[in-house]
Amino acid sequence: MNKAADHSGISSARSEAFAQRLHKRYAAERRFKALGLSAVLFSVAVLIFLLGTMLWNGVGGFQRVEVAVPVDLAAAGMAVDPTVLEQQNALPNLETQGLPQVVEAAAERVLGADAGEAIDPQAWRVVAEEIIANPQLARSSHVFYLPASPELAAGYEGEGSPEMRALAARLTTRGVLSKTFDVGFLSRSDATSAQHAGVWGALKGSFYTMIVTLLLAFPIGVLAAVYLEEYAPRNRWTDIIEVSINNLAAVPSIIFGLLGLAVFLTIFPNLRSAPLIGGMTLALMTMPVIVISGRNAIKAVPPSIRDGALAIGASPVQVVFHHVLPLALPGILTGTIIGMARALGETAPLLMIGMRAFISAPPDGFTAPASVLPVQIFLWSDEVDRGFVERTSAAIVVLLLFLLAMNGLAIYLRNRFEKKW
Amino acid sequence: MSIALLLLLALGLGLAGWLAARAKAWGFRRSGSVRLAALPAYHGWYLALWIVIPMVSFIVMWGAIAPGLITQSVLSDPAAAQLPAFGLQRQAMLSEARAVATGNAAAVFNPQAAALVEPYRAAIARYNTIGLLVTLLLGFAAGIYAWLRLKPDFAARTRVERAVMGILLIASLVAILTTLGIFASLVFETVRFFGMVGPLDFLFGLFWGPDPMSNPQTPDASRYGAIPLFWGTIYIGAIIAMIVAIPLGLMSAIYLTQYAPTGVRTWIKPALEILAGVPTVVYGYFAALTVAPAIRDIAVALGASNASSESALAAGLVMGVMIIPFVSSMADDSIAAVPAAMRDGSLALGATRSETIRRVLVPAALPGIVAGVMLAVSRAIGETMIVVMAASTAANLTANPLEAMTTVTVQIVAMLTGEGSFDHPATLSAFALGFVLFLVTLMLNFIALRVVKRFREAYE
């Protein structure tokens, strides 16, 4: 290189070429750092975009297009007996009494002859349920907010047939048609029409499934972690157990679905799509997660605790169950909650064991056919109706809120109870 | 009497036994001058375990076999003789009658099933009584046996602790049982499948198009070539997704560990964790609803006329985003495992930070990073919901990322969620595909864990 520079000391080391090289190297340094930052920012941007899209669409899913229709049952000549309303079969009774016709006639007075197409055919149920909840409403005229038909709802959004769009515009200017917050989304179950669909059935199914998963995976996982960390002799069997737990943690979830299909559904063929089978399948998937996090939590308890307890005469079982396990519990619980959150969002194995049927009634037990929230999202995502697109996003928002709550709880537990030794 | 009630009964009896045995042990302590060999609570646990363990094991076993016994006794009823001999109709009638008998349905739809309701009800009542009686008998017999053994000098604690160790061992054996269960169920169905379609046709055939409606006796082996599926899986999961995930994940890890100020790190790390915690069905919906149409529109605008709205690119890109946090945390771990002396030495020689990272840290951490990438690939190829929702079901052997492609997991879901019977090769092929997937992910994990272990040892 430059021979003169070599002999003339430091000042001349800052030659033109040196400065240029240094400049280049610093530029490369800045570029590299910017690259790293942009990689991080990209991930964050995708996350924000993803959540934003779901929220944006989901807001529409929590609402529905409703028509304000005054219904006067007394004037329509329909006498409603309050004692009938208290009975179990009040709804079918009202139907045979002619409530659907009364509601349709009332709707026709407001909407003209188009009422049949503008009001959802099941709209009378809304009236019936409100009357059952409050029999006073049957005595005088009361304005009910009835769900619009899917076609009219599409018209309100500026889609669908031109007639419906025109009708929607007319009704909106009259102040009869509006999009309002739909509390029922959280209390209804799956339906063929997006106007009637809700997530309660799926939430209940998820709840039952998670109970089964927790009851199976938590005790088995914690006990296995205790055994492997505290008592297991170093031999071939222990190695096999450890290897299989590590492998299970990495097996794709759909394989667990195949196991559930081939084993659990062969043993219990009548329990297709029951939360019990779903919970058992997810428990096998969650158990390794709990074992691994449980072992780490138990490992973190310092040996001095064990030595102290042993020294004052506790037996090995007492040492673990009286001292080590209570101290490791916050860590174990954190891992359990994270594993449960993963199970709550899991879809594929449940599709395998038949939890994909259309189920319009919330399950009333562990053996009743049920759906779960992620599967409900998957099923709705297949619907082409615009209303279902919004409902799907709204269901996703509900699911994400639950996951956020669970993860928040895990972080809280970790920060609040975890000891640094 | 449902299983849950029986279990509650067992727990209740166990609690009663616990209290009684503890009271008895207290009695020993008060009356006798002898020292108790174990604390009274251990006597309680001894009796409770003797009551609960036999009862619960019987209840679980009973829950598995009772439905079969009930069906059998219904079928031996004269009313069952007029049922159609085989097939779906027979099953439908049986389940209809069962639903009415258990109160899950109000009335039967099929008049023939109505005759079965009463036999069903009787059989259920009979077997419920038998189950309840045997459970109670077992509980009391075991309880009395244990009760008679309680003496002041009885070493209840050692017995209880031995039982606890047994329970712990059984709990950890569940993992082995699960692995065996997966292996056995996959192998069993795969062997049945290979009895119908040759393994060579399956593993090396170039055309995939099983017809679930065809005659199961004469399967057309040329329709069961899985190469297009393997290619689609590798193309989406191991190529497109990794092109996204490796650079972004690696650079994120480098930035977060080497450059980011603490304030940034405390905010960005949870964000990445959230990205990892988003359920795959949400990613799938995002891919199908937002990304796939956008990619098709862009491709059409750029002049690609055959762009599919179920393109491999959309599924791969979203899958890559899903994997970023995973790659990032693996890379983070391996870079952190490189001794600080190597980094300090490089910096001391005047290398800039980026030069240190590129020439020293990353090469030193490379085995760990490669292992992390292998784990990421194994996760990507086993990922189901994104591809089910965003990729196609049409098998397509092509290298064009804008065309529709299918994967192994998509086909497993497609074959098993249809109406096909369990004896059809199209249904069984799902198990063969699952078996291949299981073996490949197992192999990737095994190698990756080996590499990580050796790499850790090298620096410790």
d(CA A418, CA B15): 33
Q: What number of residues does chain B have?
A: 460
Residue B60 has pLDDT above 70, yes or no: yes
Mutate to test the interface with A, among B2, B159, B174, B447 (most CBs of A within 10 A): B174
| Nearest alpha carbon to residue A250 among B171, B409, B449, B249 | B449
Q: Which two tokens stand for residue B288?
A: 């199908």
Residue B267 has pLDDT above 60, yes or no: yes
CA distance A36 to chain B (A): 5
**Residue B167 belongs to a domain:** no
Question: Residue A348 — pLDDT band, cuts 50, 70, 90?
Answer: very high
Instruction: Give the pLDDT of residue B282.
Output: 95
Segment A356-371, tens digit of pLDDT:
888 888 888 888 888 9
- From chain B, pick out residues whose CB is under 8 angstroms from the CB of A255: 182, 186, 382, 434, 437-438
| Nearest alpha carbon to residue A194 among A25, A411, A392 | A392
Residues B144 and B290 in one domain: no
**Residue B361 belongs to a domain:** yes
Q: Give the residue from chain B lying closest to A31, CA to CA.
A: B354
**Residue B416 belongs to a domain:** yes
Residue A421 has pLDDT above 80, yes or no: no
**Residue B232 belongs to a domain:** yes
CB-based contact A33 B438, cutoff 8 Å: no
Question: Mean pLDDT highest for which of A162-166, A395-399, B76-80?
Answer: A395-399
Residues B147 and B231 in one domain: no
Residue B99 has pLDDT above 80, yes or no: no
The set of long-range contacts for A231-236, using a CB threshold of 8 Å and a minimum separation of 24, is A231/A316, A231/B165, A231/B168, A232/B172
CA distance B304 to chain A (A): 26
Residues 300-339 of B with CB under 8 A from A: 321, 324-325
Q: What is the mean pLDDT of residues B301-305?
A: 82
Residues B139 and B55 in one domain: yes
Instruction: Give the pLDDT of residue B409.
Output: 94
| Nearest alpha carbon to residue A368 among A273, A236, A266, A263 | A273
Higher pLDDT, A160 or B427: B427
Q: Is A50 exposed, middle or buried (0-12, 13-18, 19+ CB in 10 A)?
A: buried
Residue A384 has pLDDT above 80, yes or no: no
Comparing A77-81, A229-233, A411-415, B114-118, which segment has the lowest mean pLDDT? A77-81
Instruction: Give the pLDDT of residue A1.
Output: 44
Domain C-terminal end among B128, B153, B178: B153
- The residues pairing with A70 across neighbouring beta strands, listed in sequence order, are A143
Instruction: Give the pLDDT of residue A321.
Output: 93
Instruction: Give the pLDDT of residue B106.
Output: 65
Higher pLDDT, B453 or A33: A33
**Residue B171 belongs to a domain:** no
Residue A251 has pLDDT above 50, yes or no: yes
Residue A214 has pLDDT above 70, yes or no: yes
SS3 state of residue A18 = helix
**Residue B197 belongs to a domain:** no
Euclidean distance between the first and the last CA atom of chain A, given in angstroms as a whole number: 57
Residue A182 has pLDDT above 60, yes or no: yes
**Residue B183 belongs to a domain:** no
Segment A19-28, tens digit of pLDDT:
999 999 999 9
CATH number of the domain where residue B311 is located: 1.10.3720.10
DSSP state of A79: P
Nearest to A345 among B174, B249, B279 (CB): B279
Q: What is the mean pLDDT of residues A270-277?
A: 86
Domain residues for B290? 221-459
pLDDT above 90 coverage of chain B, percent? 45
CA distance A152 to chain B (A): 23
pLDDT above 70 coverage of chain A, percent? 94
Question: Residue A5 — pLDDT band, cuts 50, 70, 90?
Answer: very low
Mean pLDDT of chain B: 87
Instruction: Give the pLDDT of residue B426.
Output: 87
Instruction: Give the pLDDT of residue A221.
Output: 95
| Nearest alpha carbon to residue A251 among B331, B226, B245, B175 | B175
**Residue B265 belongs to a domain:** yes
Comparing A115-124, A171-180, B9-18, B279-288, which segment has the lowest mean pLDDT? A115-124
Instruction: Give the pLDDT of residue B379.
Output: 92
Which alpha helices (DSSP H) does B102-155 contain, by range? 111-149
Q: What is the mean pLDDT of residues A287-302?
A: 94
Domain C-terminal end among B153, B170, B203: B153
Comparing A58-72, A132-146, A372-386, B271-285, which segment has the lowest mean pLDDT? A132-146
Instruction: Give the pLDDT of residue A4.
Output: 46
Q: What is the mean pLDDT of residues B345-359?
A: 94
Instruction: Give the pLDDT of residue A196.
Output: 82
Higher pLDDT, B288 or A172: B288
Instruction: Give the pLDDT of residue B249.
Output: 95
Residue A3 has pLDDT above 60, yes or no: no
Q: Cβ of A370: how many Cβ atoms within 10 Å?
A: 29
Residues B287 and B394 in one domain: yes
Residues B145 and B238 in one domain: no
Question: Residue B86 — pLDDT band, cuts 50, 70, 90?
Answer: low
Residues B147 and B229 in one domain: no
The count of structural domains within chain B is 2
Comparing A346-355, B90-99, B194-203, B389-398, which segment has the lowest mean pLDDT? B90-99
Instruction: Give the pLDDT of residue B187.
Output: 94
Q: Give the residue from chain B lying closest to A319, CA to CA.
A: B161
Instruction: Give the pLDDT of residue B84.
Output: 65
Q: What is the mean pLDDT of residues A378-401?
A: 88
> Are residues A271 and A265 in contact, defined by beta-carbon separation less than 8 angstroms?
yes
Residue A109 has pLDDT above 60, yes or no: yes
- From chain A, pick out residues whose CB is under 8 angstroms from the CB of B173: 241
Residues B452 and B344 in one domain: yes
Q: What is the mean pLDDT of residues A233-237?
A: 90
Domain C-terminal end among B111, B133, B153: B153
Mutate to test the interface with A, among B96, B168, B452 (most CBs of A within 10 A): B168
